[in-house]
Amino acid sequence: METQMKFSHFQLLMEMALPSPEKPKTPMPTPEQLPPLVLAYIGDAFFNLYVRSELLHYEQNKVQILHTYGAQMVSAPMQALALRALSDVLTEAEANIVRRGRNTKSKPAKNSSVSDYRYSTGFEALLGYLYLKADRERLFELTEKAFAIISRGIIDHYEKFGDK
């Protein structure tokens, strides 16, 4: 019985979410109106794609290496590191989005502290906000800086600890 309920719930979600000719699109709310976790969902997708694309400048053949470094770069501790370093250059509106993201109640990942997880959610919410605002210049400015900060953080870690 429980499986049927889950499937019917899935069907309902599919009917609500998938576009159809009979159902017009709902107007999209402004980025400021969206919940922080929705902004973080979009920001996470953007940052993952950005990191994967950037890593292609350094490696084009070994997918496992791309995956390993990509996963490390988009991890909560690395995103938290980037956000902490960028906090002084954020506008008031951006800082408010970060604060909303950090204060959102969600379950931290197993491999990160609660603090790092909250900061990474704030970081992703900021990227999602800028993406949905279509502020490409600011989005790429902060993303490029974050990529450099995270790269330096990984290099420093390996120089200090090796493969640990």
Residues pairing with 20 in the sheet: 23
- Let me know if 116 is a catalytic residue: no
**Integer Cα distance of 90 and 87 in angstroms:** 6
pLDDT at position 63: 87
pLDDT at position 2: 47
**Integer Cα distance of 34 and 116 in angstroms:** 23
pTM of the model: 0.84
**Integer Cα distance of 108 and 88 in angstroms:** 25
**Integer Cα distance of 91 and 29 in angstroms:** 22
pLDDT at position 4: 54
The residue ranges of the chain whose pLDDT is under 50 are: 1-3
pLDDT at position 65: 85
Task: Provide φ and ψ at 39, rounded to 5°.
Answer: -60, -40
Residue-wise pLDDT for 22-68, tens only, equals: 777 778 899 999 999 999 999 999 999 999 999 999 878 888 988 99
pLDDT at position 163: 63
**Integer Cα distance of 134 and 71 in angstroms:** 26
Domains of the chain, first to last: 36-161 (1.10.1520.10)
